[in-house]
Every structure is written in structure tokens, then in C-alpha cells.
Amino acid sequence: MLDTVVIPLLKIAVLVNAVLVAVTFLVLMERKVIAWAQSRLGPMRVGPYGILQALADPIKLILKEDITPVKADRYVFTLAPIMSLVPALVVFAVVPFGPDPLYYIGDINVGLLFIISVTSIGVYGIILGGWASNSKYPLLASLRASAQLISYEIAVTMTLVSVILTTGTLSLVGIVEAQRESGIWFGFIQPVALVLVFIGGLAETNRAPFDLPEAETELTGGFHTEYSGMRFALFFLAEYANMIVISAVVVLIFFGGWLRPFPNIAWLGFLDLLPAWIWFVGKVFLFLYVFIWIRATLPRYRYDQLMSLGWKVLIPVAIGNLVVTGVFKVVF
Amino acid sequence: MAEALLFYTLAALILGLGVMVVSARSAVHSVLFLVVNFLLVAVLYVTLNAEFVAVIQVLVYAGGIVVLYLFVVMLVNLKQAPERFSDPRRLARSGLVLGGVVLALIVVVVSSSLRAGAAPEGTLSGFGTPFTSGNTEQLGWVLYTSYLIPFELASMLLLVAMVGAIVLAKRHLGE
């Protein structure tokens, strides 16, 4: 009873809260980093250096009036933000923060596929949110979102197949262990796959330069135009939780998960003094920083450029990478 | 007992949602019920220890195909009911034929399962065994050895369908 029910429930409670708190600070981090990139200070008023802004934002969103448009489809309108946040949190069930079973909720043997499939459910939130608002800009954003997510999902999944060929397992713990055994992070064996998965991850989380579904300049905010208050906050939470998911997946597959840098060099063993989960979280935040850095640097793609990049560049490169990996696997 | 209870609950929910899919007023609501239906079928696979099939069910059906359904449903104006396309007499006739076919199928399935006797021991024994046992490798092995030719035929069929769709779309654009 204790091992099968109580402890997993405790772990789930801790993890969900940790993710949600991490999201609030991630929003602050994003505002700060973009401000620095643009020679500004960013939020400075609430707490020292604006740190408490991370708490002020959610409180503001909770207190705001929650408006449902009269012509909206009431049930779907309510359901959409929930459908977008829940898959983002469910994915964390298989993310291992360390080698010990204490650090993950479940290590299932189809872990990577589980992540891909559950994140593919998350798109319903965006599509239905735009449709249920019964307004033209959100609807356009939904159409964009569904087309974009389907095209980039194919490229990412194709790329991950070539990674699975190298690891020989779908379990995320197994993938990290394979990197420890081979003594090299897979990012160095599969650099093309790393770039493809990261670009695909940017597109699947609707981050700049692929944030077409919420392009403010053309669609007045995109799929969440009609949302306010806490429901808008749920969409917001989902986007940032998905960013954390993509960073965690990239770290686990390509950057050795909880392993210290250079796991093959023995005299660097003192680096193991830091607990494994700190290495993991640190690497995840490094990638979150890259997400923000890209947003501060690159302009948004045009829609046709986005589609031709997905179908004419990423998918052929992914297939080519798969073929090359297969040939290497057979020859060596 | 527990697994039987789980199975019948799931089966009832799946059938109920199936009815909701065809009876919902709004096409988008139908599609939503269909998503939940597919997810519950995936749960059914998990209870049978077929976690790979379950995940693929979510990935391909719930996550891929139904998104395309939604895409199409949102593009088509379904505000007016399609009455002017339907001839009630023809509808009744085709309904009769379809109902007959389904009835015949049910009769065949039930009678053949009755002839085969009770389900063999262990059909529903997946529930409770650890989720990590693994069947992805076995599935891949069987698929690429015993069932190689059907597998390749299926993939050729998909390729042909894809090329056909592109040709049809292109011809429309070109003229």
C-alpha cells in the first residue's frame, strides 16, 4: 500500500508543484533575459531585483475577471485550457531526475513513445480553444496550430527513431544508462538529430520563431485572444511546462540526463559530489535559456516559410539521418 | 474479479462514448468524444499488457488522425444541418442494410466464440503485472520476420494512397 499508492502520490504532488513553481520563475527569467538582451532592466519593482514578480503575476491572473464570450461554445471553451495543461504535466510521470527509483514516478519501457504521444494530445487545447471562442482570429490560429504541429511532429518522431536505433531502448532511464556505458553523450554522436529535435521542439511548443498560432501582429494574440484570467493562465502554464518537457527530453536523450559532464574521464569524478538531479535540472535550465535567447534574437517565420521548412527541409533531413544511422549501425 | 470489473466498466464507457459520437449535435463535439473513446481503448490495451499498442493508439489515432478530422470539421461549415442532401427513404434503406450487416457480424462472432467455449485462462490476466515487462522488441521481431510481407504491403498501400492524394490535389491546382 505504502509503496504502490502513498509514495507515488506524494511524488506526483511534489513534482506537479515543483513544475508549476518552476514555470512562474521561468516567466520571470524570460522577462529578465529578454530585457537584458534589449538593454533594459526588466521587472525591478516587486522585491529585490523583481524576484517576487514571479508570485505577483499568478496572483494577478487568479484575481482577474473570468469572461466567457456569449457566442462561445461554453463546455469546449472551459475544457480547452485544461486539455492543454494536463498532458504537459502527465509527461513528467516518465521523466527521470536521477538514476534512483526515488527520482522518477515510473520508468516504463515505452517511455520516449509515451512522451511523444502524450504531447501530441496537448494540441487539442490550442485547436479547441481557438474554435470554441467563436471568433475569427482564434479560429485562424487553431488552423495554423494543427497544421504546424502535425508537420513538425512527423520530423521529430522520425528523428527520434534514429536516436532509438543508437540506444536500442525506449526507456528514458535506459537511454541515459546507455550514454553512461558508452561514455559519451549522444548529442556528440547524433548532432543532426539534436538540431532537428530542438527545432521541432520550438515549433511544437509554439515558441518564437515558430509562434505563428499566437502571432500578436497578425492575430491579436491568436488562440487565446478571448481568454482571460485563470483560463488564460492555464494556457500560459501549459506553454511553459511544455518548454520544460522539451528541454528535459533533449537533455535526457542528447546530454546525458543526470550524468556529470565527461562521464568517461575518471579524474573529473569530483563533479559527482553534486547530486544527480542538480546536474539534470541545471542542464534543463540551460536549454530553457536557449529557448529564451532564440526568442530574443530571431524574428518570426512567415507561414509558408514555416511549412516549407518543415516539409521540405526537416523531414528529408530526418529521413536521411535515419538512413545514415542505419547504415552505420549495420557496418560498424 | 478486479480485471473483469475494469474491463466491463471500460467497455461500457467505450460503447457509451461511441453512441455519443454519432448522436452529438455539433461535429466538433463528436470529434471530442471520439478522442476520449480512443484514449479509453488505449487504456484497454494497457490492461492487456500491450503497452506499445496502447501508446501507438494514442499517438496515431488520438494524436494524429483525429487532429486531421478536427482540421476538416473546422474548415467545413456544418452550421446548417445537411438535410437537403438527405433523402429520408434512401437513408432508411441504407440504414436497414447496414443494420443487417452489423447484426450478421454480431451473430457470427458470438456463435463462433460460443463454439470455441470459454475464453482460455489468462486472456485478461494482464492487469496487475508490472508495466515494465516489455513487448516492443517482440512485436518488432514478429513484424519483421513472420509478417514481413503483409507489413510491406501495408506500407506500399499507404505510399500509393499518399501519392494518389498528391496527384489528385495537384491536378486540381494545375488546370
Does residue A207 contact residue A243 with C-beta atoms inside 8 Å? yes
A23 lies in a domain? no
Over residues A1-6, mean pLDDT: 76
Residue A308 belongs to domain spanning: 68-331
Contact B71 A143 (CB under 8 A): yes
Please report, to the nearest 10 degrees, the dihedral formed by the alpha carbons of residues A211, A213, A217, A220 taken in order.
-140
> Residue B79 contacts by C-beta under 8 Å, 6 or more apart in sequence?
none
CA A129 to chain B, closest CA, distance in angstroms equals 12
C-alpha radius of gyration, chain B, whole number: 21
Q: What are the sequence ranges of the domains in chain B?
A: 1-79, 133-175
- Give the model's confidence band at B152: pLDDT under 50 very low, under 70 low, under 90 confident, else very high: very high
pLDDT, position B85: 58
A53 lies in a domain? no
Set of chain A residues whose Cβ sits within 8 Å of the Cβ of B75:
143
> Residue B30 contacts by C-beta under 8 Å, 6 or more apart in sequence?
B20, B21, B22, B24
**Which segment of A121-130, A198-207, A210-219, B18-27 scores lowest on mean pLDDT?**
A210-219
Q: Does B55 touch chain A (CB under 8 A)?
A: yes
A244 lies in a domain? yes
Q: Measured between alpha carbons, how far is A88 from A83 in angstroms, rounded to an integer?
A: 9
Contact A108 B51 (CB under 8 A): yes
pLDDT, position B87: 67
Enter the pTM of the model. 0.81
Q: What is the 8-class DSSP label of residue A314?
A: I
pLDDT tens for each residue of A225-275: 778 778 888 888 888 888 898 888 888 888 887 877 776 676 766 667 777
What is the residue-averaged pLDDT of chain B? 79
A50 lies in a domain? no
A41 lies in a domain? no
Contact A146 B64 (CB under 8 A): no
- Check residues A116 and B132 and name the one with the higher pLDDT: A116
Q: Does B62 touch chain A (CB under 8 A)?
A: yes
- Give the model's confidence band at B81: pLDDT under 50 very low, under 70 low, under 90 confident, else very high: low
pLDDT, position B121: 46
pLDDT, position B133: 46
- Give the model's confidence band at B125: pLDDT under 50 very low, under 70 low, under 90 confident, else very high: very low
- Give the model's confidence band at B154: pLDDT under 50 very low, under 70 low, under 90 confident, else very high: very high
Pick the CATH number of B1-79 from 3.40.50.300, 3.40.980.10, 1.20.120.1200, 3.40.190.100: 1.20.120.1200
Count up the domains in chain A and report the number.
1
Q: Does the pLDDT value for residue B135 go beyond 90?
A: no
Q: Does the pLDDT value for residue A125 go beyond 90?
A: no
Widest Cα–Cα separation across chain B? 64
Over residues B56-63, mean pLDDT: 85
Which chain B residue has the Cα nearest residue A154? B64
pLDDT, position B132: 43
CA A103 to chain B, closest CA, distance in angstroms equals 17
Q: Does the pLDDT value for residue B124 go beyond 60?
A: no
User: Cis link prior to A209 (omega < 30° from 0)?
Assistant: yes
Q: Does the pLDDT value for residue B159 go beyond 90?
A: yes
What is the residue-averaged pLDDT of chain A? 83
A17 lies in a domain? no
pLDDT, position B80: 56
pLDDT, position B123: 42
Q: Measured between alpha carbons, how far is A79 from A313 in angstroms, rounded to an integer?
A: 35
pLDDT, position A186: 81
**Which segment of A87-91, A183-187, A287-291, B29-33 scores lowest on mean pLDDT?**
A183-187
pLDDT, position A146: 77
Contact B74 A114 (CB under 8 A): no
pLDDT, position B127: 42
A60 lies in a domain? no
Contact B55 A123 (CB under 8 A): no
A134 lies in a domain? yes
